[in-house]
Amino acid sequence: MAYLGTPAATAGVIKKHDFRFQKKYGQNFLIDANILQKIVDAAQITKEDYIVEIGPGIGTMTQYLAESAGGVAAVEIDKNLIPILRETLSEYDNVSIINEDILKMDIKKLAEEKNSGRPVKVVANLPYYITTPIIMGLFESHAPVSDITIMVQEEVAERMQTGPGTKDYGALSLAVQYYAKPETVLKVSASCFMPRPNVGSAVIRLTRFEEPPVKADDEEKLFAVIRAAFNQRRKTLANALANAPAIKCAGGVAVKVTRQQVCDALERMGLAQTIRGEALSLAQFAEFCNLL
């Protein structure tokens, strides 16, 4: 089997198929076999696992995944890559090539059809522009996913793990830490990609919690409040929420929050009424929303 994870092999496939990189899809193919193996090792894949790979490209990492896992769904949005994938992955009978947008895909249905309803693992070299929507889509839809091992922009990996009071702390930090335990497993140089990106990358593993580490009475309200707090992060929490549109709660109910309600909740928590959202921990946001 000829592996694709080298500059020469990747360039050969691109030339053979006259493939043109599409900027709108943020395509950067891995060309370092050592990094590819480390990603698969970090995902802790066994033959018992079914993998959903987002953005397989020409199938470089898919080859490694197919050899380690019981099955792989290679989900590729770019229709121009589908004939290439059919060729490069033709030797693997445990790979399903799916030309679809992962944001519109029913992963629960896929897990039922391919994995007897058991949770799947997600592995991806994600386009940086769509990292957050994909991760949040997987978590907020409560898709049956046990863990996610993904290549992201280095600063995004840092943002997922940081805590209150730092410049990188925000809605993404809180959302990831509500649903999963984040851990950076590998830093990756720009030279490991074709074409070469302008930023450094990191592989981060998000291990899904069976139960969130905090108790939120209304999960939808919690994240609506967090988003509102960080949409105007330089304002006090009271001003940010008072200026925000109505907060969406469970069941589609929208509630307009007043400055007085915010101040009352903060007072009961023993927090200053001038506090900003960026100073609150996940546990404090949950308590605040339960009081609100």
Nearest to 3, CA basis, from 65, 80, 48: 65
pLDDT digits (tens, 9 = 90+) for 53-71: 999 999 999 999 999 999 9
CATH number for the domain that contains residue 266: 1.10.8.100
Residue 201's DSSP bridge partners are 153, 188
Q: What is the predicted pLDDT for the residue at 182?
A: 97
- Per-residue model confidence as pLDDT tens digits over 73-119: 999 999 999 999 999 999 999 999 999 999 999 999 999 999 999 99
Cα distance between residue 140 and residue 179, in whole Å: 9
Residues 150 and 223 placed together within one structural domain of the fold: no
Same domain, 249 and 170: no
Same domain, 178 and 259: no
Identify the domain boundary among 171, 187, 208.
Answer: 208
Q: Is the residue at 188 inside a domain? A: yes
- Report the chain's mean pLDDT, rounded to a whole number: 93
Q: Are residues 151 and 198 in the same domain?
A: yes
Do 168 and 273 reside in the same domain of the chain?
Answer: no
- Here the CATH number for the domain that contains residue 56 is 3.40.50.150
The pLDDT, as a whole number, for residue 27 is 82
Closest among 77, 53, 26 to 199, alpha carbons compared? 26
Those residues whose C-beta lies under 8 Å from the C-beta of residue 276, and which sit 6 or more positions away, are 229, 233, 234, 235, 236, 237, 240
Assigned domain for 273 exists: yes
Choosing from 148, 176, 208, the residue where a domain stops is 208
In a domain, 213, yes or no: no
Q: What is the phi/psi pair of residue 201, to 5°?
A: -125, 165
Q: Mark which of 208, 232, 267 sits at the end of a domain.
A: 208
CB atoms within 10 A of CB 166: 12
Instruction: Provide the residue range defining the domain that includes 228.
Output: 219-291
Q: Do residues 83 and 189 share a domain?
A: yes
Please state the rounded mean pLDDT for residues 240-249. Answer: 92
Co-location of 29 and 121 in the same domain: yes
Q: Are residues 30 and 143 in the same domain?
A: yes
| pTM of the model as a whole | 0.91
The verdict on 201 and 91 lying in the same domain is yes
